[in-house]
Amino acid sequence: MKQVVYFFALFLFISCNNPKSKNYQWRGENRTGVYSETNLLKEWPENGPKELWFAEGLGNGYGSPTVTESEIFITGEKDSLAWMFCFGLNGDLIWKKQYGKEWAKHYPGSRSAPTVIDDLVYAGTGMGIISCLKRETGELVWTKDYVADFEGVLPYHGYSEAPVVFDDKIFCTPGGPENNVVALNRFTGELIWSCKGIGERMGYNPGNLIKLPDRKIYVTFSAYHLLGIDAETGEIVDSLRAGTGAIIAADNMLYYYNWGGELSLISCENGKLQKQSAFKITRGTKEHFSHPVIKNGVLYQRRGDALMAFDIRANRESRTGI
């Protein structure tokens, strides 16, 4: 079950991003859920925006798609196995790859959105398998097991992490008293540092990297605490108890997908929130837990076995990259 603590808004104005980095990840640029899209519809038709295409056969899952300039990566669970799918922007399947055991108990399905850096793709499973695959073919480069390799504690609803990658490191939260949070070499999977944190299990959320003028802090949640960890050394900077929530933003509008399956478009003017449009997601299977994604004027929504793509461009003639 992937509901994420959105403390990231507190850091939105102090975080920064390298514009040259080819880093595609969960919730988009800086992992904030704020998409730098413009010229989008301010009101949707009664039955929702025009559907461009859809793909089925993904298996069970709640992981959002990660959209690059040329591909879409998304994970799913079939017969207790984790699968990665790579689609073209027109919805055609490029490749699929099985990369470990996936969560198949209560709320079965994938819980991770892939992270794409240059020619490599990273993804985790609900069973605590973190893997690196080749972007072009899906060939497995390396894999680690949170429980077997780091004595991690399996959460009640399975691990739910979208990998954070920075420089040569990938940050993970196995949980437990010893290797609570770890940094691995992203090219080999070897351990760089380990932090004991508070000793709790992981908290069903992906972390984020905050870039301050004099240091870089990896922030994540264990079961009940926000953790701030020095990204270079693994030392604890601070911790704080906090709550949960979910939303994304683009073109001065908010996009909210609730557990009832309603996808809403919300305006925010002069501090006042107002629902402008809403429609029900009817394709797909099981719970409505996945996060929306926006890229090149297309709104992507995953529900279990189905991935949908909606045209939300205000001026369809100027649409590109579809």
Q: What is the CATH number of the domain that holds 46?
A: 2.40.128.630
Residue 23 lies in a domain: yes
Residue 127 lies in a domain: yes
Position 2: which residue type? K
Residue 2 lies in a domain: no
136-151 per-position pLDDT tens digit:
999 999 999 999 999 9
pLDDT of residue 271: 46
Residue 75 lies in a domain: yes
277-298 per-position pLDDT tens digit:
999 999 999 988 888 999 999 9
Higher pLDDT, 115 or 253: 115
Residue 307 CB contacts under 8 Å (≥ 6 apart), including other chains: 54, 55, 58, 65, 72, 74, 87, 300, 301
pLDDT of residue 31: 84
E strand or H helix that includes residue 150 = helix 146-150
Is the pLDDT at 239 greater than 80? The verdict is no
* Band (17; pLDDT cuts 50, 70, 90): very low
Task: Please say whether the dihedral angle defined by the alpha carbons of residues 197, 200, 201 and 204, taken in this order, is positive or negative.
Answer: negative
Is the pLDDT at 244 greater than 80? The verdict is no
Q: Rounded distance, CA 177 to CA 196, Å?
A: 6
Residue 1 lies in a domain: no
Q: Rounded distance, CA 321 to CA 69, Å?
A: 7
Q: Rounded distance, CA 23 to CA 18, Å?
A: 9
Q: DSSP letters along 158-185, please?
A: ----PPEEETTEEEE---SSSSSEEEEE
pLDDT of residue 183: 97
Residue 304 lies in a domain: yes
* Band (317; pLDDT cuts 50, 70, 90): low
* Band (11; pLDDT cuts 50, 70, 90): very low
20-59 per-position pLDDT tens digit:
558 899 888 888 888 889 999 999 999 999 999 999 999 9
pLDDT of residue 270: 54
Is the pLDDT at 126 greater than 80? The verdict is yes
Domain carrying residue 219: 7-318
Tell me how many domains the chain contains.
Answer: 1
Residue 260 lies in a domain: yes
Q: Rounded distance, CA 308 to CA 160, Å?
A: 22
Q: DSSP letters along 191-212, please?
A: EEEEE-TTSPPB-S---EEEE-
Higher pLDDT, 288 or 186: 186
Would you state the structure tokens that stand for residue 220, as one six-digit string? 């994540």
